[in-house]
């Protein structure tokens, strides 16, 4: 066993305030020191790298070590972020708001952060209880704070947690982007190099926000789409996916005048084990099965689901052709429904724009053009979407929607749910359903279909190898469709989104986009097609999906 690695692990253990991760690490050290090769490899995995702080903050598995989420790593992050905020404050006392969800250690990490921020001389405000991520994003602007921190891993597996950072002021409560991420990371590294977080100053002199912050969010969100007269007849099902969305959503539904949903009881309250799902993500197969079963029993009109921190939204509708009798709408379908709603309201407003990530449906551009609005295509992530000039609505296909940019500059699954309720109620008054609204979209803006191929890997190097292969030898056709152009967005033209993204265009207007996931060990391929009918567009997507799977198997 490497003596330097053992010394590194022992130094980490000495400064760890958490007895659980201390004991965990002590056991690994003992086995590694005695020659256990598996334990030595475990230590290398824990300390051979460091969870990188970037524009998504921190996210990773819970456990001891620099490559895990734990109280030492969070203390380093909080202290480094405090130093960054002091540096940018020009003599003022910076204010930072801290929120947390129901995952393991979320409250502990949030309280540690509040104590360290206060100990560093900042005004620290801890939200009153576990709450959705959008409430934290709202609170940054509502309280005029310089920054916000949300302790959450969103829809990641149960043993993960994370640390998401927002900036106030000119950033208007958006998530951080470059160069702030690198500057914060440098401050964090300086704290880590000092090697002992137990010496960092702490203070219990932080504030706990009152319920007035939550009530302000409730009022602002209910105002997005007050219920029309016919809303009382809506029959809908809701699941919180074992997360923190229900309490807040329920209050907003009442305030807006909609009937309360029939709920999935097994998933309604926060549960850090997420016991009924393999992955607490509405996109994952099986995650909405309990919702489908509940909706069948009560003969619901539609289903609304939030992910565990309620910043994402899923919608499902009856579908007789499906084995379950229900179909989850794609993020693109919901995005176009909500985008058309926003465009109708903003038509004629100078400078108003719609925005989506480059992997989301190009149909939003058609909606914007139809209503005379500007359109912006950005890199993936709401840190970019939220910064689009003149934005009145933004979305990304991964179930994220920004419908109320004046109050929340991030994806918000609760405000999006209220907007969907409004659409459903208005359709109901006309004797229509959400499925009918989708058909009307195609008739008005053109027919768009989308699909996705997602490959989860154990070894991240596989993703790099596949991307290198596609860059070196680009495919010439997919599913009998000749590729008209291939773009490598690592070398994008000035003014265009740039990143580790490959985009292939087909002569009929279809496109295929390949990129590594930013939050999970996945390679993602996004497929979009447009045609003169919904059936023809869907058929093209199916052909391209099959061809993409063959291509990835060949290149893996």
Whether 520 has a pLDDT exceeding 80, the answer reads: no
Per-residue pLDDT band at 1 (split at 50, 70, 90):
low
pLDDT of residue 457: 87
Taking the domains of the chain in order of start, what are their residue ranges? 1-48, 55-209, 211-431, 447-555
Which residues make beta-bridge pairs with 355?
Answer: 376, 394
Phi, psi of 524 (to 5 degrees): -115, 140
In the three-class reduction of DSSP (H, G, I as helix; E, B as strand; rest coil), residue 164 is classed as: strand
Distance CA 10, CA 58 (A): 23
In the three-class reduction of DSSP (H, G, I as helix; E, B as strand; rest coil), residue 9 is classed as: helix
Distance CA 527, CA 135 (A): 33
Phi, psi of 508 (to 5 degrees): -80, 5
Which residues make beta-bridge pairs with 477?
Answer: 482
Mean pLDDT of 467-487: 92
Q: CATH topology of 55-209 equal to that of 447-555? A: no
Which residues make beta-bridge pairs with 207?
Answer: 125
Please identify, in words, the CATH class of the domain defined by 447-555.
alpha beta
Distance CA 238, CA 291 (A): 7
pLDDT of residue 142: 98
Which residues make beta-bridge pairs with 504?
Answer: 486, 512
**Residue pointed to by tokens 């000119």:** 170
Whether 496 has a pLDDT exceeding 70, the answer reads: no
CATH of domain 211-431: 3.40.120.10
Whether 527 has a pLDDT exceeding 90, the answer reads: yes
The alpha carbon dihedral of 214, 220, 223, 224 has a sign of negative
Q: Which of 79, 113, 154, 357 is catalytic?
A: 154
Strands 160-167 and 207-208, by their bridges, are unpaired
Tens digits of residue pLDDT in 158-211:
999 999 999 999 999 999 998 999 999 999 999 999 879 999 999 999 999 999
Output the DSSP codes for 375-434: EEEE-SSHHHHTTSTTEEEEEETTTEEE--TTT-SS--HHHHHHHHHHHHHHHHHTT--H
Contact 358, 336 (CB under 8 A): no
Outline where 195-305 has alpha helix (H).
211-222, 245-256, 289-298
Which residues touch 539 (CB under 8 Å, ≥6 apart)? none
pLDDT of residue 497: 66
pLDDT of residue 271: 97
Give the residue from 162, 195, 69 showing the smallest Cα distance to 519: 162
Phi, psi of 59 (to 5 degrees): -160, 135
**Residue pointed to by tokens 């005379």:** 372
CATH of 55-209, one of 3.40.50.10790, 3.30.830.10, 3.40.640.10, 3.40.120.10: 3.40.120.10
The three-point CA angle 192-129-67 to 5° equals 25
Phi, psi of 423 (to 5 degrees): -65, -45
Give the residue from 222, 286, 206, 303 showing the smallest Cα distance to 258: 222
pLDDT of residue 119: 98
**Average pLDDT over all residues of the chain:** 95
Contact 112, 85 (CB under 8 A): no
Mean pLDDT of 463-484: 92
Whether 485 is catalytic is: no
In the three-class reduction of DSSP (H, G, I as helix; E, B as strand; rest coil), residue 90 is classed as: coil
**Residue pointed to by tokens 């209503």:** 371
Distance CA 476, CA 489 (A): 18
Burial per residue of 426-445, b for 16 or more beta-carbon CB atoms within 10 angstroms, e otherwise: bbbeeeebbeebbeebbeeb
pLDDT of residue 296: 97
């Amino acid at each position: 066993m490497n003596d330097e690695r053992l010394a590194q692990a022992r130094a980490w253990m000495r400064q760890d305030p958490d007895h659980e991760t201390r004991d965990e690490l002590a056991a690994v050290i003992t086995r590694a020191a005695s020659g256990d090769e598996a334990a030595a490899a475990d230590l290398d995995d824990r300390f051979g790298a460091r969870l990188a702080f970037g524009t998504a903050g921190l996210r990773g598995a819970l456990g001891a070590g620099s490559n895990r989420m734990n109280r030492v790593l969070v203390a380093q992050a909080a202290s480094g972020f405090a130093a960054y905020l002091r540096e940018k404050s020009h003599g003022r006392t910076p204010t930072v708001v801290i929120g947390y969800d129901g995952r393991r250690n979320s409250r502990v990490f949030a309280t540690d952060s509040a104590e360290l921020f206060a100990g560093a001389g900042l005004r620290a405000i801890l939200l009153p209880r576990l709450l959705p991520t959008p409430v934290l994003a709202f609170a940054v602007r509502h309280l005029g704070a310089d920054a916000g921190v949300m302790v959450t891993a969103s829809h990641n597996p149960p043993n993960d947690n994370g640390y998401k950072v927002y900036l106030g002021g000119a950033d208007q409560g958006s998530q951080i982007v470059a160069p702030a991420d690198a500057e914060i990371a440098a401050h964090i590294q300086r704290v880590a190099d000092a090697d002992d977080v137990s010496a960092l100053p702490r203070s219990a002199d932080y504030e706990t926000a009152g319920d007035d912050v939550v009530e302000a969010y409730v009022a602002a969100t209910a105002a997005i789409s007050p219920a029309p007269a016919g809303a009382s007849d809506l029959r809908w099902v809701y699941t919180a996916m074992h997360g923190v969305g229900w309490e807040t959503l329920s209050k907003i539904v009442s305030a807006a005048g909609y009937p309360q949903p029939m709920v999935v009881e097994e998933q309604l309250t926060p549960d850090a084990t997420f016991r009924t799902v393999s992955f607490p993500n509405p996109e994952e197969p099986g995650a909405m099965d309990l919702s489908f079963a509940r909706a069948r029993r009560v003969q619901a009109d539609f289903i609304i689901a939030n992910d565990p921190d309620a910043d994402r939204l899923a919608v499902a509708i009856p579908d007789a052709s499906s084995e379950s009798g229900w179909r989850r709408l794609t993020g693109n379908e919901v995005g176009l429904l909500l985008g058309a709603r926003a465009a109708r309201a903003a038509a004629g407003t100078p400078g108003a724009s719609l925005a989506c990530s480059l992997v989301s449906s190009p149909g939003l551009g058609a909606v914007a053009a139809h209503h005379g609005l500007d359109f912006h295509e950005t890199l993936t992530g709401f840190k970019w979407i939220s910064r689009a000039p003149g934005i009145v609505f933004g979305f990304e296909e991964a179930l994220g929607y920004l419908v109320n940019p004046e109050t929340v500059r991030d994806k918000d699954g609760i405000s999006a749910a209220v907007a969907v309720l409004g659409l459903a109620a208005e359709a109901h008054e006309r004797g229509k359903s959400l499925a009918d609204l989708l058909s009307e979209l195609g008739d008005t803006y053109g027919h768009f279909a989308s699909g996705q191929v997602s490959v989860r890997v154990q070894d991240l190097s596989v993703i790099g190898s596949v991307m290198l292969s596609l860059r070196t030898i680009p495919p010439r056709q997919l599913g009998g469709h000749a590729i008209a152009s291939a773009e490598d967005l690592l070398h994008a033209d000035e003014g265009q989104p740039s990143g580790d993204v490959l985009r292939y265009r087909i002569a009929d207007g279809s496109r295929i986009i390949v990129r590594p996931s930013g939050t999970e060990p996945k390679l993602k391929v996004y497929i979009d097609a447009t045609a003169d009918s919904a059936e023809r567009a869907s058929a093209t997507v199916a052909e391209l999906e099959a061809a993409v799977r063959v291509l990835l198997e060949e290149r893996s």
